[in-house]
Chains A and B, each alone.
Chain A
């Protein structure tokens, strides 16, 4: 299991420094077995919070600046995503710049999180610039 800042993610960050683009603050999950990489552009088998439907609904995260090495050198996004509609196994989680479609800035793969109706995950993405 590995966390990747994607190539598209670098482009998003570069664009944001110029005051352009859209904030990557939307968290989605997938249930596929596909391996992630820096070249990934989407989740493996994206699923809605309702596991019975395939889709790309996403949860809005709360973004803050935190300190890792130097003061305020890290952007952190935290989202709580609650499963509905039965049981599913989350294998990968991604951070996007839109509620649907859009671009994937970061992804973590290699998970096997079995969630039943009402279970939730709190996903914390930390993008460090130090």
Chain B
């Protein structure tokens, strides 16, 4: 018997902080990964379906 499993479990998250020459710092925060966004959209769709049923 052979068992094969494939899971897509990798994602990328990016955060950017700007350091101005005058010493000011601006934190632009975490930029959502493509996968996180896709999951959120799916969850929204599911919740809308639940609301209408």
User: What is the interface of chain A, defined by CB distance below 8 A to chain B?
Assistant: 1-5, 9-10, 13, 38, 80, 93, 106, 108, 110-111, 113, 115-130
Contact = CB atoms under 8 A, between A and B. Distances in A.
14 contacts: A2-B37, A5-B12, A5-B34, A113-B18, A116-B21, A118-B21, A119-B19, A120-B18, A122-B16, A122-B18, A126-B14, A127-B10, A128-B11, A129-B10
B21 A4 contact: no
Interface of B: 9-21, 28, 31-34, 37
Contacts of A113: 16, 18, 28
A2 B32 contact: yes
Contacts of A93: 14, 16
Contact of A121 (B19, B31, B32, B37): B19
Contact of A126 (B13, B20, B21, B37): B13
B37 to A, nearest CB: 6
B18 A5 contact: no
Contacts, number: 83
Chain A to chain B: the 4 pairs with minimum beta-carbon distance, closest first = A118-B21, A5-B12, A3-B14, A108-B14
A84 B35 CA distance: 34
Contacts of A115: 18
Contacts of A129: 9-10
A121 B11 contact: no
Given A106-B14, A124-B14, A127-B10, 15 more contacts: A1-B31, A2-B31, A2-B32, A3-B33, A4-B34, A5-B33, A80-B19, A93-B14, A111-B16, A113-B18, A118-B21, A119-B18, A119-B21, A121-B17, A122-B19
